[in-house]
Amino acid sequence: MLSDVVAVLACPHCAGSLTQEDAALRCAAGHSFDIARQGYVSLLSGSGTAASGDTAEMVAARGRFLDAGHFAPLTSAVGAAVARAREGRPGECVLDVGAGTGHYLAAALELCPDAVGLAVDASKAAARRAAHCHTRVGSVLADTWQALPIKDASVSVAMTVFAPRGADELRRVLRSDGTLLVLTPTVRHLQELVAPLELLHVDERKPERLERTMSPAFTRRSQTMLEFVMSLRHSDLDALVGMGPSAWHSSAAVRAERIAAQPEPMSVTGSVLLSEYQPSTPD
């Protein structure tokens, strides 16, 4: 619930502490943010351009795919990494930036019975869904490319899973002894589907780009490659295409035609890098 994470939130206008009063969060300067009926709060600062969060259809497709368990090896690996990083830090906050449905955060909290979770996403549909992903999760609508509405050094573990990230803001909100987990696809991720379903390619220079964007704020502590094979039916392929960026580029009819031409079930590779970073410099 939002009340679990209010202590780490900051007003997006003046960076002051927020307190919950009835159905709103307020700061001492009088800025006020209504809590939506669905349980999340928007702390978008209103400055700059609107962030490009996923549509309701994409979030629903992601929910279907993840609930079916096809990415279970990733869910387990992220959960275990969060639990390891939190050892000996009872009651602290785990931040998931670009949290989507909140699937990975909820799984991590199951392994960390005394932690609370903060899900941040720029998509209203995602924020709505993440608000109910776990009883100890609070969900906030915010743009990761802007200043995060989170207090300095208030988070002990942060993660981004297939999501955009701003290293400087993550560094600011993370404790100096905290851990950042980043999960990114390799070029082999979903490789069997790239040509037939016209999925967007993963850039083979992505690992170098990741290192460049994470430094100098973070230093990599470890990196693990996770590879597995999924057996996917046509309905799974539909959810997989629908939940990703390629959903923007093809109509439903074209997508259905391409999927119908594939074998069923189809063997599809999952391939990601799970990287663990520590802040480079003290607060």
Sign for the CA dihedral angle at 129, 223, 226, 212 comes to positive
**Is 245 strand, coil or helix?**
helix
Q: Which is nearer to ligand SAM, 121 or 238 (CB)?
A: 121
What is the DSSP track for 93-120? Answer: EEEEET-TTSHHHHHHHHH-TT-EEEEE
Q: Which is nearer to ligand SAM, 48 or 91 (CB)?
A: 48
Residue among 61, 99, 107, 259 that touches ligand SAM (CB under 6 A): 99
Q: How far is the CB of 118 from ligand SAM (least distance, A)?
A: 13
Q: How far is the CB of 255 from ligand SAM (least distance, A)?
A: 17
For residues 145 and 167, the answer to whether their CB atoms sit within 8 Å is: no
Q: Which residue's Cβ lies closest to ligand SAM?
A: 100
273 vs 184: CA distance, rounded Å: 5
Does 133 engage in binding with ligand SAM (CB under 6 A)?
Answer: no
- Rg of the chain in Å (alpha carbons): 19
Does 163 engage in binding with ligand SAM (CB under 6 A)?
Answer: yes
164 vs 123: CA distance, rounded Å: 13
Stretch that binds ligand SAM, among 1-9, 11-19, 98-106, 107-115 (CB under 6 A): 98-106
> Any bridge partners for residue 110, and if so which?
none
What is the DSSP track for 51-80? Answer: P-PPPHHHHHHHHHHHHTTTTHHHHHHHHH
Residue among 144, 179, 184, 275 that touches ligand SAM (CB under 6 A): 144
Query: Which residues in 31-70 contact Zn ion (CB under 5 A)?
Result: 31
Q: How far is the CB of 105 from ligand SAM (least distance, A)?
A: 8
220 vs 205: CA distance, rounded Å: 17
Q: How far is the CB of 28 from Zn ion (least distance, A)?
A: 7
Residue among 60, 145, 187, 271 that touches ligand SAM (CB under 6 A): 145
Q: Which is nearer to ligand SAM, 86 or 128 (CB)?
A: 128
**Site size with ligand SAM, rule: CB under 6 A:** 22
Which of Zn ion, ligand SAM, none lies near 51, with the C-beta cut-off 5 to 8 A by kind?
ligand SAM
Query: 170-200 burial by CB neighbour count: b if 16+ within 10 A, else e?
Result: bbbbbbeebbbbbbbbbeebbbbbbeebebe
For Zn ion, the binding residues (CB under 5 A) are 11, 13-14, 16, 27, 29, 31
Q: Which residues bind ligand SAM (CB under 6 A)?
A: 51-54, 62, 66, 98-101, 103, 121-123, 126, 143-145, 161-164
